[in-house]
Amino acid sequence: MKHQRLIWLLAGLVCWALALAAIRQVWFQRATDPTWEQMRASGTMRVCMEAAYPPFGLLDAAGNFSGFDVDLARELASRWGLQVEFVNLHFDGLYDALLADKCDMVLSALPYDETLTEDVLYSPSYFNAGLLLAVRQDERRIRGVNQLGGKKVGVELGSAAELEARRHLEQGRIPLHIVTYPGAIEALTALRDGEVDAAIADSVNVYHFTRDPGGIRYVKRFLSDEQYVIALRPGSGYTWKRLADEIARLTRQGFFKTLQARWF
Amino acid sequence: MDSTHPRSGSVASELYDLLCLGLSRLLGSPLLPRVLLLLPLLLLAGRVPQPVVHIGPRQTVQSINPKMGVHTRLTDEVEEWKIKRTLEMVREMGASWIVEYFPWGYYEPEKGRFDWRHPDLVVDHAIAQGLEVVARIDFVPGWARPEDTTFRYLPEESYGDFAGFVAAFVQHFRGRVRYVVVWNEPNLAFEWGYRLPDPESYTRLLQQTYRRAKEANPDVIVLAAGLAPTLAPPGSEWGMDDLEFLRRMYAAGARGSFDGLAIHAYGWTLPPDSPPGRDSLGFSRAELLHEVMVENGDGDLPCLITEAGWNDNRRWANAVRPAQRIDYTLQAYQMVLEDWPWCRTVAMWVFRYPRPARNYQDDFAFVTPGFVTRPIYTAVQAYARGQQP
């Protein structure tokens, strides 16, 4: 009888040990995350970037990296106690470089791509580069596209903004008048100067123009989304979790607003 | 009898009873007549509705510039209505020419067994829209090349097989396809099966193909391949300067083995009227290729620009702004019409992809995979209609 109890006790302990090991494996995926292990072992976080896309990534003649994404990478590395190393590549080579282990992550104004979610892990978005509706600072009647009927709307010729304006005109049946300009800045300048009643442009240009030279503001709701995310190799679950937590924390702490003020 | 029962109902009921009685006596079963009466309904219910796509009556392209063309990409377009819609939109834009890719490996999966169903669809719809088709032919089937080689690798011993396919193609499409392009960018290692580009070997391919194609269809116009515009230094493992490649083709005896030259003339970041230079790439580099033809006594042969254009991707180093792209494209169409009599058409890359490439390539397109027209389409259409921008 005593033997039987002992056997049951031992079997129970073994079961609990196995279950706890499995739980540990799931909860602390670090043990099976080569990206995190590699970064910790080398003390370096390698970031693939196209440093030719201002204001997100820039490389000066002396070989110094700067920009919104560069600051973000440095902040992440500093919080994780790592050095940061940038790998400068053309945009079209970023994913291949990541998958070929040339870097630990792609942080380069990278738009979320729903067709690649089985190939890479995407962090939550840290920036929306979608289209915004801009109006003059003193404009009070236009609160969204529904108030654009009969108004002149400036857009960059041939751009996504022109397509968006056409979509509202043709599909939304909002009788707006599209006025095209060679670039987004020209469209925003025309808005400030009173040539048009509103302008549609990407958020980067709108943020930049709102601050300098100013005279315009924008409707907060985006007309379209282009979410910038960070890409990791598959199997980097622990790094992804750390990254997602940091992005949430940085958002709460106003870090991205600071970056926006610095770079746009 | 219920007085409210309609009289016509009674007549129908009597007719039905009479029919069933007659049929059951005739067939010897009371159930069978009912089944027979319901049969047409059952047949109709069991029929799966099929989308119906008609080729339709022959259309005519309305354009002030008859040299306007586009490179379509219908090779991998499965649904017929999409093929038709794409070609309708080409016509509606005002382009009269299309260049299309016809992969040998798709249409001769086994030696001597041809499957023309898909290319027939593309060609017949193009003709119905009033479009002239230029067929680019390459892509080596597995049976015509060694194992572990790419579909761009054509061993010299298979040149006869390729020439045989082109002969079968021009025979099948006699009266429908007038132009064929023999291979694509053989001055690039990638397009030559990751071997060093070899203009002498390509010339032998061209010679064999030309002879077989002309035997099969003397009316066909055989074009030498469009060469990739490149400034690759001598001895580069990736490619050979296109001007040098063409000169060496002539030196190898290519003259007389093609009726015209296909040209690739991408503009990159330069406007179309930017002067051509041996050390720069741009749309007007086509003039230098034509000069090589003139130097070799082929100045009277036509050139067809089978790939050209500008890209307006925001992230690609070789792209321009969307407004510049529109401006340059219209300028290029007009330049070819007014200033390049030796050039028969200019086909801009690319009209529409069947699905998004999800990279800068998407920003060469005039129309999205979902048939949304991009502003360049509207601008080109307005130009073709003679409207002021």
Q: B69 Cβ partners below 8 Å, 6+ apart?
A: B95, B96, B97, B98, B99, B132, B134, B305, B345, B346, B347, B348
Q: What percent of chain B has pLDDT over 90?
A: 82
Query: B321 contacts in A (CB within 8 Å)?
Result: 156, 158, 182-183
Which of residues B188 and A114 earns the better pLDDT score? B188
pLDDT of residue A3: 80
CA-nearest of A106, A84, A103 to A35 is: A103
The rounded mean pLDDT for chain B is 92
Enter the pTM of the model.
0.81
Mutate to test the interface with A, among B269, B312, B314 (most CBs of A within 10 A): B314
Which of residues A93 and A102 earns the better pLDDT score? A102
Query: A183 contacts in B (CB within 8 Å)?
Result: 321, 323
Identity of the residue in B317, B372, B376 whose CB atom sits nearest the CB atom of A158: B376
pLDDT at B3 over 60: no
Query: B376 contacts in A (CB within 8 Å)?
Result: 158
pLDDT at B20 over 70: no
CA distance B124 to B168: 17
pLDDT at A94 over 90: yes
CA distance B251 to B248: 5
CA distance B190 to B149: 11
Which of residues B381 and B36 earns the better pLDDT score? B381
pLDDT of residue A139: 93
Which of residues A52 and B251 earns the better pLDDT score? B251
Please return the burial class of B31, using the count of CB atoms within 10 Å of its CB with bins 0-12, 13-18 and 19+. Answer: exposed
Nearest CA in chain A to B360: A92
Cβ pairs bridging A and B (under 8 Å): 46
pLDDT of residue B359: 81
Q: Pinpoint the alpha helices (H) of chain A.
A: 2-27, 34-42, 68-79, 94-99, 160-170, 184-192, 203-211, 237-252, 255-263
pLDDT at B45 over 80: no
Q: Do A53 and B315 touch (CB under 8 A)?
A: yes
pLDDT at B25 over 80: no
Identity of the residue in B312, B321, B359 whose CB atom sits nearest the CB atom of A182: B321
pLDDT at B15 over 90: no
Query: A90 contacts in B (CB within 8 Å)?
Result: 317
Beta bridge partners of B182: B137, B224
**CA dihedral sign, ordered B331, B337, B338, B342:** positive
pLDDT (tens digit per residue) in B319-359: 999 999 999 999 999 999 999 999 999 999 999 999 988 78
Which of residues B375 and B51 earns the better pLDDT score? B375
Nearest CA in chain B to A166: B375
Of the pLDDT bands very low, low, confident and very high (cuts 50, 70, 90), residue A84 is very high
Beta bridge partners of A154: A179, A199
Q: Do B375 and A162 touch (CB under 8 A)?
A: yes
pLDDT at A18 over 90: no
Q: How many angstroms from the chain centroid is the CA of residue A96?
A: 19
Which A-chain residues 120-149 have CB contacts (< 8 A) with chain B?
none
pLDDT (tens digit per residue) in A198-209: 999 999 999 999
Of the pLDDT bands very low, low, confident and very high (cuts 50, 70, 90), residue A8 is confident
What average pLDDT does this structure show over A162-176?
A: 93
Asked if A178 has any chain B CB less than 8 Å from its own CB, the reply is: no
Shortest distance between the Cα of B112 and any Cα of chain A, in A, equals 39
Q: Which of A18-32, B33-47, B250-264 has the highest mean pLDDT?
A: B250-264
Of the pLDDT bands very low, low, confident and very high (cuts 50, 70, 90), residue B1 is very low
CA atoms within 13 A on the CB side of B205: 28
Of the pLDDT bands very low, low, confident and very high (cuts 50, 70, 90), residue B284 is very high
What average pLDDT does this structure show over B218-241?
A: 96
What average pLDDT does this structure show over B61-78?
A: 97
Of the pLDDT bands very low, low, confident and very high (cuts 50, 70, 90), residue B388 is confident
Asked if A260 has any chain B CB less than 8 Å from its own CB, the reply is: no
Please return the burial class of A102, using the count of CB atoms within 10 Å of its CB with bins 0-12, 13-18 and 19+. Answer: middle
Of the listed ranges B84-93, B195-204, B285-294, B380-389, the least confidently predicted one is B380-389
Edge-first strand listing for the sheet containing A198-202 = A177-181, A152-156, A198-202, A131-136, A216-219
Q: Do B321 and A183 touch (CB under 8 A)?
A: yes
pLDDT of residue A24: 66
What average pLDDT does this structure show over A151-180?
A: 94
pLDDT of residue B4: 43
Q: What percent of chain B has pLDDT over 70?
A: 93
Nearest CA in chain A to B380: A158
Q: Do B375 and A115 touch (CB under 8 A)?
A: no
pLDDT at B150 over 50: yes
pLDDT of residue A7: 84
What average pLDDT does this structure show over B367-378?
A: 94
pLDDT of residue B27: 67
**Could you give the 3-state DSSP secondary structure of residue A231?**
strand
Inter-CA distances, A9 with A1, A5, A15, A18, Å: 12, 6, 10, 14
Which of residues B356 and A40 earns the better pLDDT score? A40
Nearest CA in chain B to A51: B315
pLDDT of residue B312: 95
Q: Do A180 and B379 touch (CB under 8 A)?
A: no
Asked if A190 has any chain B CB less than 8 Å from its own CB, the reply is: no
pLDDT (tens digit per residue) in A236-254: 999 999 999 999 999 999 9
Asked if A162 has any chain B CB less than 8 Å from its own CB, the reply is: yes
pLDDT of residue A133: 98
pLDDT at A30 over 80: no
What average pLDDT does this structure show over B136-148?
A: 97
Query: A52 contacts in B (CB within 8 Å)?
Result: 317
Asked if A90 has any chain B CB less than 8 Å from its own CB, the reply is: yes
Query: B359 contacts in A (CB within 8 Å)?
Result: 92
Angle between helices B285-295 and B242-251 (to 10 degrees): 10
Q: What is the DSSP string of A168-197?
A: HHHTS----EEEEESSHHHHHHHHHTTSSS
Work out the number of other CB atoms within 10 angstroms of the CB of residue B189: 18
What average pLDDT does this structure show over A82-101?
A: 94
